[in-house]
Amino acid sequence: MPEVASTDYYTLLGVPRNASNEEIHVAFRHLAHECHPDLHPGDPAAVERFKAINEAYHLLSNESERRAYDASLTTTETGHADLETTVELGLRELFTGCRVRIRVPRAAPCPSCEGEGSTLRPGRVVCTSCRGTGWGPEEVFLGVRTREACYRCQGRGRLASGAGRTPCLPCHGVGWILLSSWTEVRLPPGLEDGQKLCVPGQGQPLLHGGQGDLFIRINVRPGPWTRAGPDLVLDLPVPSRMLTHGGRAPLRTPIDEVWVTLPRHSHYGQVVGVPGKGVPASDGRSRGDLWVRLVPPMEGR
């Protein structure tokens, strides 16, 4: 007979999280018959088991409540639900850094039930399944420790006491709703394509309070330049007579103008180095080198 302190409603019914409605119905009928209090007279635990199974079935058989419940489950060791977004940067942002505004979810108590998850509030009692912690037991899967929100109180650590508790419709019995807000993040210069930055505490809200982390993946727009770490290769159109006689040619970077000295008898395709004029480091204290490739004036136009 299953124990009340199962990890979640799916485990309680013995079905996977992608179970169909029919599979949930069949599992419930089997367990309801097996655990019915009439078959276990004088056993108070049987009553609690039957109530838990019934509660699990009614929630998982309701499509909207099941979606809300699935969203409330957390699967990492700390319980954090991390979010990830992508920010696209151009060459100027690589030189100067920038500020970006990102929309993130925020948890707020449901105004309809004031965070209780129930439209009836005859009183509040500590959840006996998690003893008020809001967490289910730790499990080890493939060597990774995980824990999830308590299946019974859904992470709140308490329950509304009394009979006839009706789940709140606006929040589907969860007790909180998701709101959107904007957060501003400062991106340093010198970022690499594919690099990932972590912004602590700006991820998915948790039922028991707190936030997961926000991860920002950098996507650098392609352009007429080549990057190798802090070093940058740019094309410099120059007339043929300057290749023969040499001279100084201006080249505009995203943050300053660089004068490139061409030796006499240069040739197209030749690369000339300009130390310290590449992409700035993230601390802003140093820069890579700029490498200038000499090309005809009309090339690439």
Is residue 247 within 8 A of residue 262, CB to CB? The reply is: yes
- Mean pLDDT, all residues of the chain: 76
Q: What is the pTM of this model?
A: 0.51
For residue range 86-124, what is the model confidence (pLDDT) as tens digits? 888 988 898 888 998 887 766 677 787 776 666 654 456
Query: Which domains are assigned to the chain?
Result: 1-61 (1.10.287.110), 62-220 (2.60.260.20), 225-295 (2.60.260.20)
Q: What string of DSSP letters covers 142-158? A: TTEEE--B-TTTTTSSE
For residue range 221-244, what is the model confidence (pLDDT) as tens digits? 888 888 888 898 999 999 999 998
> So what's the pLDDT on residue 207?
53
> Which has the minimum average pLDDT: 59-63, 103-107, 192-196?
103-107
The H or E element containing residue 256 is: none
For residue range 195-206, what is the model confidence (pLDDT) as tens digits? 888 888 777 666
153: amino acid identity, one letter = C
> So what's the pLDDT on residue 8?
64
What's the pLDDT band for 293 if we cut at 50, 70, 90?
very high
Residue 162 has pLDDT above 50, yes or no: no
Reduced to 3 states (helix: H, G, I; strand: E, B; else coil), residue 241 is helix
* E-only strand ranges, the chain: 83-89, 98-109, 124-126, 139-141, 144-146, 158-160, 176-187, 196-199, 214-220, 225-228, 231-237, 247-252, 257-262, 271-274, 290-295
What does the alpha-carbon distance between residue 287 and residue 293 come to, in Å, rounded to a whole number? 19
What's the pLDDT band for 291 if we cut at 50, 70, 90?
very high
Is residue 290 within 8 A of residue 272, CB to CB? The reply is: no
Reduced to 3 states (helix: H, G, I; strand: E, B; else coil), residue 36 is coil
Residue among 179, 177, 74 at smallest CA distance from 134: 74
